Amino acid sequence: MTEFREIRFEPIDLNTVSTHSGHLAVFVDTSDDAQGQSGIVQRIDRLTRGLIERAAQSVAWNKLADGECLRLNSPAGVNAEAIHLMRLPRRASRDLARQAGAALARSVGDAELTVLAGRQRNIAEIAFGLMLRSYAFTDHKTADQDDSGAFTLMVDNVDSAVSKFIPLAAVAEGVFFTRDLTNEPANVLTTTEFANRLKSLEEAGLAVEIIDEDQMATLGMNALLCVGQGSVAPSKMVVMRWNGGVEGEAPLALVGKGVVFDTGGISLKPAGGMEEMTMDMGGAGVVAGTMLTLARRGAAANVVGLVGLVENMPSGNATRPGDVVTSMKGDTIEVINTDAEGRLVLADVLWYAQETFAPAAVVDLATLTGACIIALGHENAAVFSNDDVFANALLRAAEREQEGAWRMPLGKSYDDLLKSPIADMKNIGGRPAGAITAAQFLQRFVKNDVPWAHIDIAGVARVPKDLPLSPKGCTGWGVMTLNRLVAERFETEED
């Protein structure tokens, strides 16, 4: 797993600040009611012979918004290579504090950084932003990788900052785990290697079970198995359990699509961009990262995470367009397009989750359709649900974590597009409303009394540009949202 940059919290010591190597960061209070600047800013300004005051009067400084910083290189009077001057109200909101931390991480790069935070509000959130934005996946680079410097936050109250940061560090670990999984090439993250990495989460306190092809065949999971039958990689289902809530209380079930590589099968994808199909297991990655976060922070909830791991390859044994398979539920499916494989995987895992665990609610996540990207771009995940209350709770959690999500419709007219002349249903409904018909397909494998949400993360699991809290590439979208959903809706309150 990608190593965290070391985060340290230390008491503020202005007497030694001039001797610090690496980079320094100071906050300029931009509150409307600011009564002058802090002693920290005044001390740095004196040491640097008025550099801070001059910078604060510059055109570049005045063009910045709150949460952005100005880098001042080679400052006189201190040993630091650079000073990062951050515009931030002292009582900045949680989101703005995260943004400020991320901005510092971008500005600093790999250098060691000392943040003179003092009494700044939401210091733990600043550290969280630093962590998330400092992520870099370099496991397969052979060039020497210089060790990244530590982040030291000098604060007035170390104990308070540490206690607030610990649960955020658990979230960051889950996000990093998801990003790592989603970034891995398919020749490294095979179905077997994926299952082994999830098995290692037992160290964090999860109970993990790996279900093999023979067991799934006995269960009748032919929809899932037909996807992987063209590959030499064995299909697997992995079940991760966290029992932190009341004994016997129905769990929340998280279900993830884990297609470690998707060629499209016999319905072969175009060559251009196919290399990005290493991320087609993004839904399973989010489920895994969320389960790790819940275990690390000791969530007071019962949650089960289930992922179907397959590889979709063309071969003499691959499923053909026109084949009919029987799902675990017993419904028959005419496979019109073998590139609509994720819903076949999810159908059986969804049914297994309900039959085995009788969950209080179900969320499935998948990089399911290109149609989702056409509809919402890379800004929002598409959310579909059979329950307004549950959907609103999920959307509220996403909004609070600043992870874009937008609810999409369901309806019988879309469902009718899945009619097959020879089976109970087709696996696609044609090009119109492709993301919706995919959700309609999945809804057929959700019991009527089970609150359910399907999240199509095709556009947000991997993005082509930098985001505030992540570099371009794999984002780990959903770990923060699902963690908050669990905390706000499923955790057991202590007496």
HEC profile of 164-209: HHHHHHHHHHHHHHHHHHHHCCCCCCCHHHHHHHHHHHHHHCCEEE
Q: Which is the catalytic residue, given 269, 396, 400, 489?
A: 269
Helix (H, G, I), strand (E, B) or coil at 342: helix
Do 174 and 479 touch, CB atoms closer than 8 A? yes
Structure tokens at 21: 């190597």
**Tokens 């009748």, residue located:** 220
Residues ≥6 apart with Cβ < 8 Å to 331: 424, 425, 444, 445
At CA 222, angle to CA 220 and CA 223, rounded to 5? 130
Burial of 142 (0-12, 13-18, 19+ CB in 10 A): exposed
- Is 343 catalytic? The answer is yes
Rounded-to-integer distance, Cα 112 and Cα 147, Å: 10
Q: Which is the catalytic residue, given 297, 343, 444, 484?
A: 343
φ, ψ (nearest 5 deg) of residue 26: -130, 155
CA distances from 19 to 26, 41, 96, 288 (A): 15, 16, 30, 43
Beta-bridge partners for 11? 155
Structure tokens at 17: 């600040």
- Is 269 catalytic? The answer is yes
Structure tokens at 483: 């963690």
Helix (H) or strand (E) holding 216: helix 213-219
Across the beta sheet with 7-11, the strand order is 7-11, 151-155, 113-118, 23-28, 82-87, 69-73
Amino acid at 397: A
Active site residues: 269, 343
